[in-house]
Chains A and B, each alone.
Chain A
Amino acid sequence: MKTFFLSFLWFSLLFAATAQASQALIEFQSPEQQALFKELTQELRCPKCQNQNIADSNAVVAVDMRNKTLELVQQGQDKEQVLDYMKSRYGDFVHYQPPLNKFTLILWLLPALMAFGLVLVLLLRRRAERSGAVTESAEQAVPQPQLEQQLDQLIEQYRRKS
């Protein structure tokens, strides 16, 4: 029993060691570089996986991109340079912020168009309501005696029934 326990302990130690070895610790020259690396790995998109950033994915291409990002950041390249480096290989797809061009124009135009449409609908409605109010008051413009006559008729009908 004691040997079993010891070997179990030994094995768990072994796995703990390998598990630690796979989690490489990255050292940065400055906190700015660390922040930039973090920002970039969260904004860069894994080209192989569906909707994961490269910080999140362990696909080979994501690991390679992470390593490359680290290398470029440690070389002192700024955000734009790293993004351009990645985009020239993996396309605009690779950045989670699409650039403004003829293919993505609709993304920017659609909200503005919808807001415009909404205002238009509200304005039209208000106008329709106002003209509706006019016709209502026109209906009310039936002369008073005529109305009273109609009312008398109704009362007469009601009395006869009961």
Chain B
Amino acid sequence: MRKLAFFIPFVLFIGLSVFLFSGLFSDPMARESSVLNKPLPAFSLPDLQQPDNLWTAEKLKGKPYLLNVWGTWCVTCNAELAYLTELREQGVMIIGLYYQQPSDAAFGEVFNLTALQQEVKLKLEQQGDPYQWNILDKDRTLIFDLGVTGAPETFLIDTKGMIRYHHIGDINPQVWQQKLAAAYQSLQE
């Protein structure tokens, strides 16, 4: 009994060390998505380049696709454009959900659609255009309903409009291979 008690601090120490050590490699941004395996929330939002064209959750059903939340102001999004364009060339359907945020709201910046369209066009010409089209979420309503914390984030949507995967952060070859490729392929059939 005495000898056993002698080892208690040592066991506690080992336990604490393992706990703290594993903490070094955990991702503090990683968390369970609460929209997983739920249908895409209802929305009605304009096409970025053709604002007369309204997109709804219903209209997007039929093919599995990636819904990529991005913005020209977002550096990481710009970095993933090239790889997403590669994926598009391989036949992956990617729809952009444009995350509009005023760069300086405190100084009364007014939303200017024409300027934004120009900016997006230029950016996609320069970096590659992975998108079939872009949906403009000016007031971030769908973005809010999807539980998006920032850009870039990507959702994998199946043929019935169900959210099958929610990825926070950029998509690069490693992420695609490890997390999304298999899921996307399985939805194809």
- Taking the closest CB of chain A, its distance from the CB of B29, in whole angstroms, is 8
Q: Is the CB of A47 within 8 A of B149?
A: yes
- Residue from B28, B147, B148 within 8 A of A91 (CB atoms): B147
Report whether B34 and A91 are in contact in the complex, using a CB–CB cutoff of 8 Å. Answer: yes
Q: Which residues of B contact A91 (CB under 8 A)?
A: 31-34, 147
Closest to B105 in A: A22
Residues of A within 8 A of B32 (CB): 91, 93
- Chain B interface residue number, banded: 20 to 34
Residue B88 lies at the interface, judged by CB distance under 8 Å to chain A: no
Question: When the two chains form their complex, are residues A60 and B140 in contact, meaning their CB atoms are under 8 A apart?
Answer: yes
Q: Is the CB of B31 within 8 A of A61?
A: no
The docked-state distance in angstroms from the alpha carbon of A61 to that of B168 is: 14
Main secondary structure of the interface of A (DSSP, over half): helix
A64 contacts partner chain B, Cβ-Cβ < 8 Å: yes
Docked Cα-Cα span, A88 to B146, in Å, equals: 9
**A18 interface residue per 8 A CB criterion:** yes
Q: Is the CB of B145 within 8 A of A90?
A: no
Looking at the assembled complex, report how far the CB atom of B76 sits from the nearest CB atom of chain A, in whole angstroms.
13
Tell me which residues across on chain B come within 8 A of A126, comparing CB atoms.
Answer: none
Q: What sequence of 0s and 1s flags, for each residue 88-115 of chain B, a beta carbon within 8 Å of any chain A beta carbon? A: 0000000000000100011110000000
Q: How far is the CB of B98 from chain A (nearest CB, A)?
A: 14
Whether A89 pairs with B147 at a CB distance below 8 angstroms is yes
Q: Is the interface of B mostly helix, strand, loop or mixed?
A: loop
Are A89 and B35 CB-contacts (below 8 A) given A48-B149, A48-B150, A64-B144?
Answer: yes
Indicate whether A90 sits within 8 Å of B149 (C-beta atoms), given known contacts A18-B108, A21-B108. Answer: yes
**Interchain Cβ contacts within 8 Å, total number:** 44
Alpha-carbon distance between A89 and B166 when the two chains are bound, in angstroms? 12
Is there a chain B Cβ closer than 8 Å to A38's Cβ?
no
- List chain A residues, Cβ under 8 A from B150: 48, 59-61
Q: Any chain B CB within 8 A of the CB of A50?
A: yes
Asked whether A64 lies within 8 Å of B140 as measured between CB atoms, the reply is yes
> Residues of A contacting B101 with CB < 8 Å?
60
| Interchain CB contact (< 8 A) of A89 among B1, B106, B107, B145 | B145
B148's closest neighbor in chain A, by CB? A61
Contact status of A88 and B106, CB under 8 A, knowing A47-B149, A48-B149, A61-B148: no
A130 at the interface (CB under 8 A from B): no
Closest to B147 in A: A89
Report Cα–Cα, A118/B34, bound state, in Å.
39
Shortest C-beta distance, A46 to chain B (Å), equals 9
Chain A residues near B28: list those with CB within 8 A: 50
In the assembled complex, which residues on chain A have CB atoms less than 8 Å from the CB atom of B144? 64-65, 68, 89
> For window 139-172 of chain B, which residues contact chain A by CB distance below 8 Å?
140, 144-150
Q: Are A89 and B149 in contact (CB under 8 A)?
A: no
Provided the pairs A60-B140, A61-B148 are in contact, do residues A89 and B108 lie with their beta carbons within 8 angstroms?
no
List 9 A-B pairs, minimum CB-CB distance, nearest first: A22-B106, A89-B147, A91-B34, A47-B149, A48-B149, A90-B147, A48-B150, A60-B101, A93-B31
18 A-B Cβ contacts within 8 A? A18-B106, A18-B107, A21-B106, A22-B105, A22-B107, A47-B147, A48-B150, A50-B28, A60-B101, A61-B148, A68-B144, A89-B34, A89-B35, A89-B144, A90-B34, A91-B31, A91-B33, A91-B147
